[in-house]
Chains A and B, each alone.
Chain A
Amino acid sequence: MLGFILKRIGLLIPTFIGITIVSFGFVRVLPGDPVLLMAGERGLTDERYAALLTEFGYDRPIWVQYFEYLRDLLSGDFGNSLVTKQPVLTEFFTLFPATVELSLCAIIIAICIGIPAGIIAASKRGTFLDQAIMGTALVGYSMPIFWLGLLLIIVFSGMLGWTPVSGRISLLYFFPADTGFMLIDSLRSGQKGAFASAVNHLILPSFMLATIPLAVIARQTRSAMLEVLGEDYVRTARAKGLAPARVVGVHALRNAMIPVITVIGLSVGTLLAGAILTETIFSWPGIGKWMVDSIFRRDYPVVQSGLLLIAVMVMIVNLLVDMTYGLINPRIRHT
């Protein structure tokens, strides 16, 4: 198993180098003078320009610049935001829990609805129920989620007045963000109604973000179950006279889960892409909104390092998925 893990990590090194080249190159391929872009100041005097040129190191050969960039990254220096003047890394880790909280809720919703829906569809194959579930899944899969978000706001916030339109918690509550996870912090604060408010704020965005993974998981579960239900060992289990629920729930499901777990792991990228839209619509203070805002504000140091950090996160999660996969299915380890 250790060899398998090391091999996987080894494979990631070229990808990591590629990612650093992309984020390093990003500022240099932008139209306009990189010094002006990265300085974010207007009306620079010649002396100030020359000083900045040396400070940023743009006067040195490109490969020297790259290695210095790499050295800075490895020592934890990701540059400072032009707008807030804060280190990008600090901002990233302040906002990251909000995105993780949202994504986790979304993936939990997707799993809790998607897997049972897929199992039901597979075990009732060809019936109206199967078609209804798969039809709904296809609609979910084809959904422009930013539009769904707007509809959710119209119905639940506008017409019914059940949920708030934006933010993570009502302005009535204030407590220190120890963990950055609003659900945990609000519980720990002990303030009455804080937790309920946090949940209320979380429902619509996490449902919006869950839509596509939910549809994908339901479809994948169904097809994996159908494949497994046709296997000999399932027939044997049936022939032994086991209860249908046990055959489906234990014998078939366990084996059908392998491709489903892969799909869940792969949906991390989808979730982050979806988070960009979800956070923008619900003014959710996470890294998706942070990236979009930074692009619009031309806060290029943030865009540059944010891109890198997000890609590295996706890479790490994919590695973890690979390892889980290796744990569940020993055959993978030896290929």
Chain B
Amino acid sequence: MAESSGSVKAQTRRQMLSEFWFYFSENTGAKIGLFVFIGLVLIAIFADVIAPHAANVQYRDALLVPPVWQEGGRWEYILGTDAVGRDMLSRLIYGSRFSLFIGCVVVAIAVTGGVTIGLIAGYFRGWVDMVIMRVMDVILAFPSLLLALVLVAILGPGLTNAMIAIAIVLQPHFVRLTRASVLNEINREYVTSARVAGAPPFYLMTRTILPNCLGPVTVQATLSFSNAILDAAALGFLGMGAQPPTPEWGTMLAEAREFILRAWWVVTFPGIAILITVLAINLMGDGLRDALDPKLKRT
């Protein structure tokens, strides 16, 4: 009996997955985004193997060498070198680790915190809900980057603090979204029947209601992933995120600012790297929304 219910479960799961993949893969952009993203993950994992040079080694005989296709370029430094003779390509490759790491950590903190708080607000309602939502309103009243900047000023500049600040700023979106879905689900019959069957509140919140709220949260998480990368790069660019000589893309751009009119490559490539990463994730996000949002599915 138990075995058969297990296999039924596994079968439904497989069916759901294949349905998900069907809708996701209908969107060409989403597929491209997914492949690029997988590529980026592989680059980040195997950075030590792929990168031709170490990220922070300075070659004193090769300051501001242009990319290989330009006059004066060298094959040792395919995308050229920066002002202190570090290989651009290697720094970009190592930089992918930071961006993906930032995205993962920020989204993990924001989702865990946001979903928990949103569940509590939506489930208990009353004054708990009111207090939580007013606090979220206050956070949302500040422009996100400004609040993140001020938070970093309080916590002290650095990558860890920048990630915490961005997570705090992104969190209210998850709270609102989860709360709205909980309110939408809580009066459905399946929830009532679970409650009548004697399920305790914690079980109801986490096992009965939560799984049905995860669709929009997943889509929002993808969007937040790209926002986190952009915001962290912006903070790095303003000197409040990762500190030099970390090969974080935003920090690289900040270091490159004074050379913008002399060496276009030190400015162009880190930006392209950020753009490609964010674009890939946003393309995936569009595909996820198509696949997970039942309302759009029918139209």
Contact = CB atoms under 8 A, between A and B. Distances in A.
Contacts of A292: 149, 238
A172 interface: no
B268 A307 contact: no
Contacts of B156: 31
B282 A138 contact: yes
B138 A291 contact: no
Interface stretch (A18-26, A55-63, A107-115, A183-191): A18-26
A269 B144 contact: yes
Q: Is the interface of B mostly helix, strand, loop or mixed?
A: helix
A144 B271 contact: yes
B261 A310 contact: no
Nearest to B231: A273
A14 interface: yes
B233 interface: yes
Interface string B237-262: 11110000000001001000100110
Interface string A267-294: 0011011101100100000000001100
Nearest to B28: A131
Given A22-B138, A154-B267, A295 B282 contact: no
B203 interface: no
B253 A295 contact: no
Contact of B282 (A142, A157, A276): A142
Nearest to B262: A158
Interface residues of A, number: 45
A277 B237 contact: yes
A139 interface: yes
Contacts of B226: 142
Nearest to B147: A307
Nearest to A315: B141
Interface in B139-164: 140-146, 149-150, 153-154, 156
Given A146-B234, A276-B146, A18 B271 contact: no
Interface of A: 14-15, 18-19, 21-22, 26, 29-31, 135, 138-139, 141-144, 146-148, 150-151, 153-154, 157-158, 230, 269-270, 272-274, 276-277, 280, 291-292, 295-296, 303, 307, 310-311, 314-315
B143 A139 contact: no
B267 A147 contact: yes
Nearest to A147: B271
Contact of A142 (B145, B153, B279): B279
B279 A29 contact: no
B142 A151 contact: no
Contact of B253 (A15, A29, A147, A270): A147
A144 B149 contact: no
Nearest to A21: B138
A-B pairs with lowest CB-CB distance, top 8: A147-B271, A18-B138, A273-B145, A273-B143, A142-B278, A272-B143, A142-B279, A158-B261
Interface string B259-299: 01100100110110011001100110010000000000001
B271 A310 contact: no
B213 interface: no
A302 to B, nearest CB: 12
A182 B257 CA distance: 27
